[in-house]
Each structure stands twice: as C-alpha cells, then as structure tokens.
Amino acid sequence: MLGARFSTHFLLIIDDECKPVYFDRQAWIQCPENATFVTQPLKLLVLAAAKELFLQYGYDAVGMREIARAVGRQPVQIYRLKLSKSDILAELVIDLNAEEIRQLPDLCAKVSGTTLLDKVCGYFRELYALDIQYMPIRSVGAAFGWMWNATYEGKIIGQVLQLLQPVACWMKDAGLDQIEARGYGIWSVYYVGFRRAAIHGGSADDCIEEIRPTLEILLAK
C-alpha cells in the first residue's frame, strides 16, 4: 500500500474499474500499488459523486449542496455547469442505459427458451437483474422523466429502442406484425413489472411473474 497526497480530484482506477476519489490538500489516502489516478473534468466528477450519493442515501435525500461538498466545490460552481438535480439524474440514467447496451451480446447469450414469450421473459429477467442493482436511481427515473428536456428525452428513447432491438428481431422472426407498436407496449409493461421490485422489494423473477400474462397477449399473433 502506498500513501499519496494530492491537491485535486481524481478517478481511482484499479484493475480497469473506476472509482471517484475526493479530498483536499491535506488529505492522505492509501491506495494499492496497481492504482492509477486520472484527473477528470468537473462534470464527470459531479456525475460520479452524485451516483454514489444517490445509491447510498437515495435521490430525495441528496441535494446539490451534498453533491458539491462531495467534490470539494461550492454549490454555485456546480450550478455553473448548467445541471439541475433532475439533469444529473438523466445523465446517470443515460450512463446506465449505455452500459446495458454494451452488455447486450452477453445478455442475449444468456437467454434460453424455444418460444417467443420465453425468450422475451428471459431477456427481461436479465435486464431486471441489472436495474435492481441501481434501484435508488432506476426507481426515480420514470418519476422525474417529465422534467427532462427534449435532448435527454431523445437520447433515452434512442437507447430504449436499442435495448428493444433483440425483442424486435425475435418478433420479426416469429412473423408478428406492428412490431414498433408492440415494442412500445412491451417496454411500458417492463416498467410495470419493475414496480414489483421498486415498491415490494421483489426479485427479477417476481417482476417477470408480474408481466408474463400481459406479455403473452402483446406477443400473440
């Protein structure tokens, strides 16, 4: 272990995993010998800090003052980034969606089943498992989505369409029509199922159990 003194904010990279580190000029930290520190723009530091705070304390319990304190700045400096708290939430949702999109090949490889319904349920089970890990962020995303601007909305809708692509392909292979309309309905149902986890503490399997009958209707010829 090495002791190090720094005078700015960094991302600590250990074995390709990033973790934000915030401290002042007088702070000492202990870090592994394989650690790397990379300076980052303030916006990225704010997003990283907000993500950790939201996950630990919940979205409602964290204000801009707490986020500013986490990166060693004054709230006015954060506001100069032209990011509201709901904007920060949107940025985090976009980041989480992007990570799921990057994992699509692996997620689809885990899907088994011979019927269209089984494939969609298997795929959504994998997505639910990921989303549940970030419950404090995911559970408020839908509630505050109406506050996002058109740019954020456009990005998120585009990501939703990418996440729905495997389902669309399976529906096409099964000979279904009106794939786009069915897709929007199916994604809406996905969030209905997620309430089972967000409100009742259910598992990914519980979420699937909640929506399977409705999915069967939406996937019928």
Say if residue 137's pLDDT is above 80: yes
Higher pLDDT, 143 or 198: 198
Whole-number pLDDT of residue 36: 46
Whole-number pLDDT of residue 14: 43
Say if residue 26's pLDDT is above 50: no
- Beta carbons of 214 and 189 less than 8 angstroms apart: yes
Whole-number pLDDT of residue 40: 58
Say if residue 9's pLDDT is above 70: no
Start-end of CATH 1.10.357 domains in the chain = 85-218
Q: How many residues does the chain have?
A: 221
In this structure, of 52-61, 93-102, 144-153, the range with the lowest mean pLDDT score is 144-153
- Distance separating alpha carbons of residues 221 and 37, to the nearest angstrom: 55
Say how far residue 156 (Cα) sits from the centre of its chain. 11
Say if domain 85-218 classifies as CATH 2.60.40. Answer: no
* Strand residue runs (E) in 154-211: none
Q: What is the pTM of this model?
A: 0.79
- Distance separating alpha carbons of residues 219 and 105, to the nearest angstrom: 23
Tokens representing residue 147 in the block: 């506050």
- Beta carbons of 124 and 193 less than 8 angstroms apart: yes
Q: Which of 81, 170, 184, 186 is nearest to 119 (CA)?
A: 170
Confidence of residue 25 (pLDDT cuts 50, 70, 90): very low
Average pLDDT over residues 143-155: 88
Higher pLDDT, 102 or 148: 102
Mean pLDDT, the chain, whole residue set: 84
Whole-number pLDDT of residue 144: 82
* Strand residue runs (E) in 61-137: none
Query: How does pLDDT run across 28-66, given as a tens digit for each residue?
Result: 344 455 544 444 588 999 999 999 999 999 999 999 999
Average pLDDT over residues 77-91: 91
Whole-number pLDDT of residue 88: 94
> What is the helix (H) or strand (E) element at residue 30, kind and residue range?
strand 28-31
- List 19's β-bridge partners, or say none: 12
